[in-house]
Amino acid sequence: MVSVAKFYLEFTVSESCGKCTPCRIGTKRMHEILQKLCDGKGCELDIYKLEKLAENIQKSSICGLGQSAPNPVISTLKYFREEFKEHAIDKNCRALECKAMSKITIQEDKCKGCGLCQKSCPVSAIEGEAREKRVINQDKCIKCGTCLASCPFHAIG
Same domain, 84 and 134: no
For residue 9, name the pLDDT band (cuts at 50, 70, 90): very high
117 vs 100: CA distance, rounded Å: 21
| Residue 98 domain flag | no
Residue 62 near residue 45 (C-beta atoms within 8 A): no
Amino acid at 136: I
CATH code, domain carrying 22: 1.20.1440.230
Domains contained in the chain, number = 2
Residue 23 has pLDDT above 80, yes or no: yes
Same domain, 117 and 43: no
Residue 19 near residue 62 (C-beta atoms within 8 A): yes
143 vs 102: CA distance, rounded Å: 7
Residue 155 has pLDDT above 90, yes or no: yes
* 89-139 pLDDT, tens digit each: 999 888 878 888 878 899 999 999 999 999 999 999 999 999 999 999 989
Q: Containing domain of residue 141, as a range?
A: 103-157
